Amino acid sequence: MDSLTIYVLRLGDNGLVLSQRLGAWCGHAPELEIDLALANIGLDILGQARNFLTYAAQQLGDQDEDSLAFQRDERQFSNLLLVEQPNGHFGDTLVRQYFIDAWHVALYSRLITSQDPQIAAIAAKALKEVKYHLRFSRGWLERLGQGTALSAQKVQGSLDELWRFTAELFEADEHDQAMAAAGIGVDPRQLEAPWREEVTAGVNQAGLTLPQEAAYRRGGKQGLHTEYLGPMLAEMQILPRSYPGQQW
């Protein structure tokens, strides 16, 4: 697989795994309006994933979005570890979302000038969507942080629990660097400053504390996942795997 395909597949896998997580909230959210909002975000992100996966499949030649989604094993998935973390309570989902939304806005606002027209087009559409997602997640971070003592305690717990996965967002391997050098991709290291600026402001506004210890969990981009991805994929892939070759 060449660097372009790997780069695009990583973005597709992020969206696929995150939308899979968000889809599980349907009908179980704290209020009807939140059910609508999470479904909306999930659908947007699934759309982004499908665009990237389709592009990756075109590069590979003998695949499509579904063979990539349903026929690869855990070790072949290249999503960030953050997005495969379980939904937990609403605070956990919200913090996971906020971290990703801040990253998405920084990423897509740079990716719109990609030398690759397909990536630039996907990014342009995605940017509008993720700005709205960030508004939602940041708004809720503040409501939970500044709400009740219980909500502040819970969402601070979510921040503390998910923090260790945030280092991976800014790691650049040889594929990221090759794509950045070609003007096609964004070097993830460039995203750290804008992300930190947003997250510091958001966390402060929410009256919460930014964890100080260094984040360290990595490996998702190399297919080294947490134990959560396996069961999630088993559930997601069951039908095409049970009935190989069928159309749906």
Partner 1 sequence: MPQHYWPLYEVFVRSQQGLSHRHVGSLHAADDQMALENARDAYTRRSEGCSIWVVKAAEIVASQPEDRGEFFEPADSKIYRHPTFYQLPDGIEHM
Partner 2 sequence: MSHEQRFLTAIAEETAIEPQDWMPEAYRKTLIRQIGQHAHSEIVGMLPESNWITRAPSLRRKAILLAKVQDEAGHGLYLYSAAETLGCAREDLYQKMLDGKMKYSSIFNYPTLNWADIGVIGWLVDGAAIVNQVALCRTSYGPYARAMVKICKEESFHQRQGFEACMALSQGSDQQRAMLQDAINRFWWPALMMFGPNDDESPNSAQSLSWKIKRFGNDELRQRFVDNTVPQVELLGMQVPDKELKFNTETGHYQFGAIDWQEFNDVINGRGLCNHERLAAKRKAWEDGAWVREAALAHAEKRAQREVA
Binding site for partner 2 (CB under 8 A): 16, 19-20, 23-24, 26-36, 39-40, 42-43, 46-47, 49-50, 53, 65-66, 69-70, 89-91, 142-144, 146-148, 150-151, 154, 235-236, 238-240, 243, 246-248
What is the closest distance, in whole angstroms, from the C-beta atom of residue 202 to partner 2 in the complex? 14
Identity at 72, one-letter amino acid code: R
CB contact burial 186-222 (16+ within 10 A = b; e otherwise): bebeebbebbeebbeebbeebebeebeeebebbebbe
Q: How far apart are CA 91 and CA 153, in angstroms?
A: 10
Q: Which residues contact 246 (CB under 8 A, 6 or more apart)?
A: 240
Q: Quick check: 130 and 108 in contact, CB under 8 A? A: yes
In the list partner 1, partner 2, none, the entry touching 248 (Cβ below 5 to 8 angstroms by class) is partner 2
Residue 36 touching partner 1 (CB under 8 A): yes
Closer of 141 and 172 to partner 2 (Cβ): 141
Q: Which of residues 135-174 bind partner 1 (CB under 8 A)?
A: 135-136, 139, 143
What is the closest distance, in whole angstroms, from the C-beta atom of residue 178 to partner 2 in the complex? 28
In the list partner 2, partner 1, none, the entry touching 136 (Cβ below 5 to 8 angstroms by class) is partner 1
Closer of 68 and 106 to partner 2 (Cβ): 68
Most distant CA pair in the chain: distance in Å? 54
Residue 125 touching partner 1 (CB under 8 A): no
What is the closest distance, in whole angstroms, from the C-beta atom of residue 132 to partner 1 in the complex? 8
What is the closest distance, in whole angstroms, from the C-beta atom of residue 236 to partner 1 in the complex? 25
Q: How far apart are CA 217 and CA 210, in angstroms?
A: 17
Q: How far apart are CA 14 and CA 80, in angstroms?
A: 6
